Amino acid sequence: MQGMQHSSASPSALPFRAPSEPPSGTHSAPALLWFRQDLRLADNPALMAIADRPILPVFVLDDAAAGRWAPGGAQRWWLHHSLAALAAALEALGAPLLLVRGRAEIVIPALADAIGATEVLAGRLYEPWARERDRRVAEALADAGRQLRLVTSSLLREPARVMSGSGKPYAVYTPFTKAVVALGEPEAPVPAPDRLHPVAAPPPGESLEDWGLLPRRDWAAAFPEAWTPGEAGAAARLAGFVSGPVQDYAARRNDPGVDGSSRLSPHLHWGELSPRQVWCAVRQAVPGEVAEAWPFLSEVLWREFSYHLLWHRPELPEAPLRARFASFPWDPDAALLQAWQRGRTGYPIVDAGMRQLWRHGWMHNRVRMIAASLLVKHLLQPWQAGADWFWDTLVDADLASNSASWQWVAGSGSDAAPYFRVFNPTLQGEKFDPTGRYVRRFVPELAGLPDKFLHRPWEAPEAVLRDAGLVLGRDYPRPVVEHAEGRHRALAAFAALAALDDDAA
């Protein structure tokens, strides 16, 4: 997947003009509006705080600060289209979006100086690298007598404010959700302003096309089949979900062959929707007690819990939260990892998911769990390897949710699946894709198999394979490991880890 050259800028190199006077008819000092993962105009607290003042909206592409957590290939595709949509919306309201590439601690203070802004408004971010970058930006602004003001924009509640009775962060999902619900319903979302006031002489910026966010070879050609990035696309997706699928969410959410999930995750990651907008729309669609809409609202709170973990445990993306898992006997194997990445494991439900991921930059949540379990348990590949692949290929790749989910499956998270829970990918496929609608779509070489053998083609008689035009080992692989063998290896590895704990004691 496409990479991108990093660049930085020094204050003297930035082509920013000297401070300008506020437009006639306004008397407030200009402000800098720094868009990050809140690429929307409605229910944007940072925007609403300065909507009546001259503003300069800016997005800074700062890959150097993000390091290995710079957006992956699929995220870059989404970011390109989301920024294009945001720029058009801001242009229509009268305040064009400025695009600048470079180190934020240099770019943001220089821009604030150029327009005479005393403060910079932005939605708070929670990733460790972003927190460190905000610290540097705040210090640079303070040195010039300016302020970085961060507001809650991408979560329902600040992680630092949801604490247990003993004043400690939560490590288990259920008590965390009870604490959040006890805080009451979120406030109603705020609509977008009707117009904005631009600064009189905005500095020149860069072209979105020059950033090269789109892939050089069009592996993302099918993405538009599934996605419409941008605030309008997000609103349409939410409206479609609450008008129908949310009512049957509990029954349909685990069926990958139907459109039963919300598919709001990439819109939430990039902030084209706020979680408050989602929560309130669902509550209106499913009125009554919170419990009535809980099947879906609980998923919103899983996202909140993931950010809670990331805020309090910044090692979450790279190190196991349960320290003993640092000694887990992984068995890295490049060939096995590649078979999994390419959807060639021999387990149809897993391969369908991995191919859906490559085709649309997204995978159904139930299938994500099955595919992840196969990788870390049957194949004993480090969970970080799976998380890295998802980071590069998911349009909704989110450091908090991705990391917490992989640690949950691996058993190394603070609130993780029990070690003995090893999904049987064959039974999972038969249970959640019984008619094979999902597998036949994404693994078309198996389409001719009858339902009985679709999820276990290695058991099909030769005559059935021949009628389906299928030769195992040529058209479709046999399983890279038998389920019983893989489960035995996984349980043995966990037993070895327990033995190490006993020896240490």
Sign, CA torsion 408/411/416/417: positive
For 313, residues 6+ apart whose C-beta sits below 8 A from its C-beta are: 321, 414
Which pair of structure tokens corresponds to residue 123? 């939605």
* Cα–Cα dist 395/230, whole Å: 13
Residue 387, burial from CB neighbour count under 10 angstroms (0-12, 13-18, 19+): buried
237/234 Cα distance (integer angstroms)? 5
Beta carbons of 1 and 175 less than 8 angstroms apart: no
Just list the catalytic residues. Answer: 299, 302, 330, 365, 383, 406
Rounded to an integer, what distance in angstroms lies between the CA atom of residue 215 and that of residue 74?
9
Residue whose tokens read 């990445």 = 341
| Other beta carbons within 10 Å of 322 | 16
Mapped to the 3 state alphabet, what secondary structure does 235-270 carry?
Answer: HHHHHHHHCCHHHHHHHHCCCCCCCCCCCCHHHHHC
Half-sphere exposure at residue 88, Cβ-oriented, CA atoms within 13 angstroms:
9
- 197-198 and 54-61 strand pairing: parallel
Whether the Cβ atoms of residue 153 and residue 38 lie closer than 8 Å to each other: yes
Which 3 state secondary structure label does DSSP give 322? coil
Which residue is listed with tokens 């929670």?
126
Torsion of CA 256, 260, 264, 265, to 10 degrees: -30
The two structure tokens encoding residue 259: 């459109």
Closest CA to 454 of 481, 435, 474, 473: 435
- Exposed/middle/buried for residue 452 (C-beta within 10 Å: 0-12, 13-18, 19+): exposed
